[in-house]
Structure 1
Amino acid sequence: MLLPLFYVQSALMEWVEIAGYGMGLIIGAILGLLGGGGSVLIMPVLVYLFHILPAEATAYSLFVVGCGALMGTFGSLKRNQVDWKTGGLFAVPSMLAVYTVQRWGLPAIPETWAIGQYQMSKDTLIMGTFAFLMIAAAYSMLKRKTALKPKSFGNGLWWIIAAEGLVVGAITGFVGAGGGFLIVPVLVVLLGMSMEIAVGTSLMIISIKSLVGFFGSLGNGAEVDWMLILPFMALTVVGTHAGTLMRSRVKGSTLKRIFGWFILLMGVVILLTESN
């Protein structure tokens, strides 16, 4: 009786892992199409499908996001869709923030801590924060906006770009998300970039800060299961390349709404799961 049950359980685990690897393609495609958004799915896939602890999964996520975004950057460069000056101004403070959080911030958080009578583990804090981030991302994608005419405010906004870079970098280091959903609106609305150039520039920023954050986690002694993460990364890179090619053929507004509802549902599910 136990033997058939063992085989069923083993087969189920294999299918769950196959589904996890398949999600790498979808995540990459979204990243390539929108310049962000897909990375918020990596953490749930790593934690719930591959059973990696959240603190370790942030490092894995940074590696996958960084490699996927790097592929998207190469595709955007071929189409002259990267603004290096603005991207560099955003990426430098973001890179410093994500490295600092991964190298010293996360290790400094105690494994268990309390607020009044309520106790919370470090893993619950990470996933809870991540769930709220997903819900915020969903809201920004689903909110109906009146058409805004992008305006350029000149070089006077350099400090806003740098401050946004610090904030996004800190978020990236803590929860392992790329932060593209925060980067693209700033580039389009405040700096007057076209959506195509904003997406390409966002991918460049994400690739730099995510890979720097990953190396920060390695410097902290993080162990990496390369046999697991390299195939997942490879599929994400393939998906990102496909998404970059499809960018001019897919209606972005429709994709954003579908994806927005999906990550809203996932954010709520994660909150309910972590609250039990």
Structure 2
Amino acid sequence: METAGYIALFFVGLLLGTLGGGGSILSVPILVYLFSLDIVTATAYSLFIVGTASLVGSVLKYGTRMIHIRTGMVFGIPSLATIFVTRNRIIPSIPEVVLRTDNFSCTKRTVILIMFAVLMILVSMAMIAPHTQMMRKKNQTSTLYMVVAGIVTGFLTGLVGAGGGFIIIPVLLYLTGLPFKTVVGTTLLIISVNSFAGFTGDVFNRSIDWPFLLVITGLAVSGIFIAGYFTQKLANDQLRTAFGWLVLATGLMVLLREVSFGFGLVFV
């Protein structure tokens, strides 16, 4: 199983570089199901993996002028602050067993993964929607909307331990009207900052297996270098739709697995 996990982590970087997101969508299930990590450790490691790969990707995108700096700052700074507080304060305060009755027990792992899956499914519907329904005209969105969206996104991504690309991309597409490839570059910049902020919060709360983490991060980074080839070959609409279907498929997989796990093993 671990061999499959190492291979899959290479594709995490490939997806990040090509689609601007999807890294956390895959890395969290990979770390939980293939490496048997607990959910909080998996989300912490996912933040570091995705943050490092996204940083490399954003540097590459900046060289091709596919980053909108102002959008990244207006959206990213509020998101950065919120994700740090969420990972450092809110996540550690959630008990391991959220709800227990005589016949039912609901754990932190199940709650986070089900929220993760539902969020992915909702976002995927927006990504797969016709292009005209997704986009807003440029300059139509106020700075206040961007700040509020950044705060909400920071809380959600901090809660599920994701870099947030699968949330940030549809939000930026709708609020800014920027081309998909520019949104990808801007999202990678935001993800890198947010992920490292979230991971910093985890460093103070748990021990980190640095040799293992650096190896799997290196695999993801190697994938992002190859992603540039695929980005040049595909159009904006093709990338957006492919990303949407990936999010939907993964969300359904995680939801079905966790619901089956909960009802099959938790009820007594």
Classify the TM-score, shorter chain: 0.7 to 0.9
Residue 8 (structure 1) aligns with? none
Q: What are structure 1's unaligned runs of at least 5 residues? A: 1-15
Partner Cα separation in structure 2 for residue 147 and residue 99 of structure 1: 33
Q: 1:59 aligns with which of 31, 40, 44?
A: 44
TM-score normalised to the size of structure 2? 0.88
Q: 1:250 aligns with which of 204, 209, 234?
A: 234
Residue 265 (structure 2) aligns with? none
Query: Structure 1 pair 76/90, CA: closer, same or farther in 2 (3 Å)?
Result: same
Is 1:121 equivalent to 2:107 in the alignment? Answer: yes
- Residue deviations 1:162-183, cap 9 Å, x none? 1111111111211111222332
Residue 4 (structure 1) aligns with? none
Contact 1:91 1:165 in 2 (8 A): yes
Q: Secondary structure at the match of 1:114?
A: strand
Partner Cα separation in structure 1 for residue 186 and residue 149 of structure 2: 14
Residue 7 (structure 1) aligns with? none
Is 1:169 equivalent to 2:154 in the alignment? Answer: yes
- Residue deviations 1:190-245, cap 9 Å, x none? 3232222211111100000111110111122x111222221211111111222134
Partner Cα separation in structure 1 for residue 116 and residue 225 of structure 2: 26
- What is the CA RMSD across the aligned residues, in angstroms? 2.2
Is 1:219 equivalent to 2:188 in the alignment? Answer: no
Q: Secondary structure at the match of 1:101?
A: helix
Larger radius of gyration: 1
Query: Structure 1 pair 192/146, CA: closer, same or farther in 2 (3 Å)?
Result: closer
Tell me which amino acid in the other structure corresponds to 1:160: Y
Contact 1:34 1:252 in 2 (8 A): no
Q: What are structure 2's unaligned runs of at least 5 residues? A: 262-268
Residue 271 (structure 1) aligns with? 255
Query: Structure 1 pair 78/187, CA: closer, same or farther in 2 (3 Å)?
Result: same
Q: Secondary structure at the match of 2:65?
A: coil
- Residue deviations 1:94-139, cap 9 Å, x none? 1111100110100111111228775311111111111212222332
> Deviation of residue 148 (structure 1)?
6.3
Q: 2:223 aligns with which of 239, 260, 265?
A: 239
Contact 1:94 1:168 in 2 (8 A): yes
> Deviation of residue 257 (structure 1)?
4.3
Contact 1:114 1:120 in 2 (8 A): yes
Contact 1:150 1:188 in 2 (8 A): yes
Residue 105 (structure 1) aligns with? 90
Tell me which amino acid in the other structure corresponds to 2:196: L
Partner Cα separation in structure 1 for residue 249 and residue 18 of structure 2: 21
Query: Structure 1 pair 37/163, CA: closer, same or farther in 2 (3 Å)?
Result: same
Contact 1:33 1:247 in 2 (8 A): yes
> Deviation of residue 256 (structure 1)?
4.7
Partner Cα separation in structure 2 for residue 149 and residue 140 of structure 1: 10
Deviates more, 1:173-182 or 1:72-81: 173-182
> Deviation of residue 187 (structure 1)?
2.8
Q: Secondary structure at the match of 2:233?
A: coil
The percentage of aligned residue pairs carrying the same residue is: 37
